[in-house]
Amino acid sequence: MGLIELASNNSVWRGMDYYKNKKVVSWELSETGIYEGVVSGSESNAYTVHIDTGHPRKSSCNCPFADGRRVICKHMIALYFTAEPEIAKDFLKEVEKWENEEEERERQHYEDMKKYVKSLSKTELQGQLLDALMQLEERRYYR
């Protein structure tokens, strides 16, 4: 698993914001796949970040969220995207692809529902509608 997969959604998206807003003050490649950097945080704090793309759990940051813990924070993600911008671009492409697929699944779901409703007789439709209304009433009553 890589840095992105190990990070929480919040850390990834906040890290993307930090990357886009150029919060990485400085960085360097210390050896293959290992980066050291300084990332500007909230309230004018600067955090020292170490990321190891080959062994992500060895990555570290001295921010309150990650200091002393084996977690991936937004500062690490920001450094990763800054050092390897193609990774950021690929990540955004994957998100866009997933969102498009999700929209298509949703569209297909509504098409299938419409087809199903049109296939029902008037009596069947009335029975299904009555059942649905009764379920809604029960949920409202038992809240």
Do 132 and 113 reside in the same domain of the chain? yes
What confidence score (pLDDT) does residue 43 get? 81
| Domain boundary, last residue among 60, 83, 106 | 83
| Domain boundary, last residue among 38, 60, 83 | 83
Measured CA to CA, the distance from residue 14 to residue 28 in angstroms comes to 21
What confidence score (pLDDT) does residue 140 get? 85
Cβ atoms of 119 and 128 closer than 8 Å = no
Do 54 and 115 reside in the same domain of the chain? no
Q: How many domains does the chain have?
A: 2
Q: What's the pTM? A: 0.76
Measured CA to CA, the distance from residue 16 to residue 19 in angstroms comes to 5
Q: Tens-of-pLDDT digits for all 143 residues of the chain?
A: 899 999 999 999 999 999 999 999 999 999 999 999 999 988 889 999 999 999 999 999 999 999 999 999 999 999 999 999 999 999 999 999 999 999 999 999 999 999 999 999 999 999 999 999 999 998 888 87
DSSP assignment of 34-46 equals: EEEEEEE-GGG-E
Do 78 and 96 reside in the same domain of the chain? no
Do 12 and 64 reside in the same domain of the chain? yes
Residue 106 belongs to domain spanning: 92-141
Q: Residue length, the chain?
A: 143
